[in-house]
């Protein structure tokens, strides 16, 4: 299976997936990085790993439709079967999501549906939540929504700071996301409504 990672920033989750592919934990071809930010650290990580980079900047296109059409051209050229969002700071259109229905996954630093949005770690910390965590989910037309693949909870300790909490969250992300990608690649997930179930019907997915 050919997979693409979409990232806009440092690419730490991207790096975790690269390691999992190189070690053989994820048996797939990490074929493409799609990035909208020429300064993103993820680009350097892709080049060091020998992964093709599609640098596609929104400002180069008159509309989001044209921007996404260019992304689709890259995906088709690489025959991508799974899209992994790893800090991609663009909201994908409903048309794009529906085109790749159940083929896009995302990671979010909270226990969804709690603390949606781009500041989830800080929001949970400032709210005084006792428990937060990480969610990996399929992407649907709503923001930080869609069937949940994996979650892991984390207790916020009294001596935690926003910075220490962020570090703990990232540590969980770097383990949980490769696990979720592995399940997708191996055809071990079945979606029924809003629920994702593990299945042993692996042979039927090939």
> Which residues are the active-site residues?
108
Quote the radius of gyration of the chain (alpha carbons, Å). 17
d(CA 147, CA 184): 13
Strand ordering across the sheet containing 131-138 = 52-55, 29-35, 2-7, 82-85, 104-108, 131-138, 148-155
d(CA 199, CA 206): 14
Q: Closest Cα to residue 167, out of 1, 12, 4?
A: 12
Kind and range of the H or E element at 4?
A: strand 2-7
The alpha carbon of residue 103 and the mean position of all alpha carbons in its chain are separated, in whole angstroms, by 11
Are 107 and 177 in contact, with CB atoms under 8 Å apart?
yes
Are 28 and 49 in contact, with CB atoms under 8 Å apart?
no
């Amino acid at each position: 299976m050919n997979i693409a990672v979409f990232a806009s920033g440092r690419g730490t989750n991207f790096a975790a997936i690269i390691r999992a592919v190189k070690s053989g934990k994820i048996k797939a071809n990490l074929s493409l990085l799609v990035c909208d930010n020429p300064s993103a650290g993820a680009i350097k990580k892709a080049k060091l790993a020998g992964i093709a980079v599609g640098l596609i900047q929104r400002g180069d296109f008159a509309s989001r439709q044209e921007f996404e059409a260019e992304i689709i051209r890259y995906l088709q050229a690489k025959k991508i079967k799974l899209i992994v969002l790893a800090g991609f700071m663009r909201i994908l259109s409903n048309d794009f999501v529906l085109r790749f229905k159940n083929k896009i996954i995302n990671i979010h630093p909270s226990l969804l549906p709690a603390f949606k949005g781009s500041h989830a770690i800080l929001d949970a910390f400032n709210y005084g939540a006792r428990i937060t965590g990480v969610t990996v989910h399929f992407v649907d037309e709503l923001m930080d929504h869609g069937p949940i693949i994996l979650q892991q909870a984390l207790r916020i300790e009294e001596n935690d700071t926003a910075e220490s909490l962020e570090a703990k969250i990232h540590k969980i992300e770097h383990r949980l996301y490769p696990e979720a990608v592995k399940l997708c690649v191996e055809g071990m997930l079945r979606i029924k409504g809003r629920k994702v179930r593990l299945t042993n019907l692996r042979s039927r997915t090939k």
